[in-house]
Amino acid sequence: MVRSRSEVGRAGGPAPRRTALVVGATGIAGEPLLRHLVGREDWFAYGLSRRPPTAGGALPGDSVRHIQVDLADPRATGAALAGLAEVTHVFYCGYQEHSDPTEHRRVNAAMFRNLLDAVEPAAQGLRRIVLLQGMKYYGCHLGPFKTPAEEDDPPVTTPHFYYDQQAELIRRQRGKGWTWAAARPHSICGPSVGGPMNIVATIAAYATVRKAMGLPLSFPGKPGAYKARRQVTDAAMLARAMAWMATAPECANQAFNIANGDVISWQQVWPLFAGYFDMRPGEPRRRSLARTMGNKGRLWDRLVRTHGLEPYSLDRLAAWSYGDALFGSDWDILSDTAKCRAFGFREVVDSGRMFLRLFDGLRAAGVIP
């Protein structure tokens, strides 16, 4: 039975001092964040998402409640959040994918605005809002840019909902008792399945299909992308960083680049992937994953039956278009993480080992053979 925050306090000692609202709670960043918060005695959490939590996800338990609502609907959002007077911290990891750039920007900006419209009147004890952004803030998706990117670099001229959301946050915060912080990771790597930007599951699905076809694990991107320098961000580390950003006084009204702390290239880690899946590495060969993997659904369904895997469809498991974008970026994508370390968050993660650990997690969960 899921109990309220006050019931948890009566049954298990003093009530937690902080109550979080994690928006995007079933996503690649939100679910690890929720897991981190509910594993601590000083937090109670609400998880908000459009879709219900998956079996075995972070939501079941006495320290968390789930709210299912589409933030694109302002009326439904207001009704769903009207009673959350106890919320002290909001973590915004919400996101909706749209193929049309104008609609993509409009919807994501509107979702954030609708959330703030609902939370501000309800949560009178609000202390901080943590906004999840990313390296697109610096224009990494548009082509070569100044690296390593620093938090005070000016926005690029191409519009993006990151700028809309941050401007909305800054405007609303003036004169208020709460503050904000923004996290800017790149290529978040976590255990979630079904999201639009999950490179770990995409690589695992690609390798599994290629192995079943008797083919080597060739890199499916540009030769320049194979050699370009880049960073990735472990979702579990990002969760700890966002919790730190939410509670450290010095983080008020600040943005932070968050990455594992090392610099890699696909050329460096691709042989590790081939070894993990017991495959021969292949030479880089540019191919569209969306096109060449999009017709492998029946093969995947046979693998699911043969190996007794969880019944995910291939298209739900893998984000082929995201893989195409990532493997097609033949320029360095690097951020300077000195600021977060100077302010007090000094964790580092070995990116190669992280990938192998996350592959292990997918295998243990029965997602890949």
DSSP 201-262: HHHHHHHHHHHHTT--EE--S-HHHHHS-B--EEHHHHHHHHHHHHH-GGGTTEEEE---S-
Q: Mark whether 144 and 24 lie in a shared domain.
A: yes
What does the alpha-carbon distance between residue 143 and residue 198 come to, in Å, rounded to a whole number?
A: 21
Q: How many CA atoms lie within 13 A of 241 on its CB side?
A: 32
- 28-50 exposure pattern, b = at least 16 Cβ within 10 A, e = fewer: bbbbbbbbbbbeeeebbbbbbbb
pLDDT at 136 exceeding the cut of 90: yes
- Judge whether 108 and 69 are in contact, CB under 8 Å: no
How much is the pLDDT for 304? 98
Q: What is the rounded distance in angstroms from the CA atom of residue 105 to the CA atom of residue 110? A: 8
Q: What is the DSSP string of 121-187?
A: HH-TT--EEEEE--GGGGTTTTS---SSB-TTSPPPSS--HHHHHHHHHHHHHTT-S-EEEEEE-SS
**Tokens of residue 231, six digits:** 């960073």
Contact 20, 180 (CB under 8 A): no
Residue 310 CA: distances (Å) to CA of 20, 234, 271, 285? 31, 24, 27, 30
The answer to the question of residue 369 being in a domain is: no
Are 158 and 218 within one domain? no
pTM: 0.93
Confidence class for position 235, pLDDT limits 50, 70, 90: very high
- Are 149 and 245 part of one and the same domain? yes
Say yes or no: 47 and 121 in one domain. Answer: yes
Whether 315 contacts 322, CB under 8 Å: no
Band of pLDDT at residue 6, cut at 50, 70 and 90: very low
Is the pLDDT confidence value at 2 over 90? no
Same domain for 241 and 267, yes or no, is no
Range of the domain at 89: 7-187+233-257
Read off the tokens for 284.
Answer: 């880089």
Asked if residue 252 belongs to a domain, the reply is: yes
For residue 238, being part of any structural domain is answered with yes
Would you say residue 4 has pLDDT above 50? Answer: no
Q: What is the mean pLDDT of residues 134-142?
A: 97
pLDDT at position 169 is: 97
Number of domains the chain is built from: 2
Sheet of 128-132: strands edge to edge? 64-68, 43-49, 18-23, 89-92, 128-132, 179-184, 254-257
Is the pLDDT score of 281 beyond 60?
yes
Residues 155 and 292 occupy one common structural domain = no
* 340 in a structural domain: no
Span 26-48, average pLDDT: 92
> Both 252 and 107 in a single domain?
yes
Residue 116, in any domain of the structure:
yes
The verdict on residue 1 lying in a domain is no
- In this prediction, residue 10 carries a pLDDT of 39
Residue 359 forms part of a structural domain: yes
Query: Which pLDDT does position 57 carry in this prediction?
Result: 52
Residue-wise pLDDT for 159-214, tens only, equals: 999 999 999 999 999 999 999 999 999 999 998 887 778 999 999 999 999 999 99
Q: How far is the C-alpha of 6 from the C-alpha of 18, rounded, in Å?
A: 12
Domain with residue 128: its CATH number is 3.40.50.720
pLDDT at 39: 83
Check whether residue 355 and residue 240 sit in a common domain: no
**What is the pLDDT, as a whole number, of residue 61?**
53
Tens digit of each residue's pLDDT (9 = 90 or more) over 284-336: 999 999 999 999 999 999 999 999 999 999 999 999 999 999 999 999 999 99
207 and 95 in one domain? no
Residue 2 maps to a domain: no
| pLDDT tops 90 at residue 11 | no
- Is residue 338 predicted with pLDDT exceeding 80? yes
Of 145, 142, 172, which is closest to residue 160 (Cα–Cα)? 142
- Mean of pLDDT values over 343-362: 97
Q: Kindly state whether residues 204 and 131 are assigned to the same domain.
A: no
Same domain, 321 and 245: no
pLDDT at 342: 98
Query: How much of the chain exceeds pLDDT 70, in percent?
Result: 93
Q: Check residue 14 and give its pLDDT.
A: 54
Q: Are residues 110 and 90 in the same domain?
A: yes
Residue 54's pLDDT is: 63
pLDDT of residue 5: 47
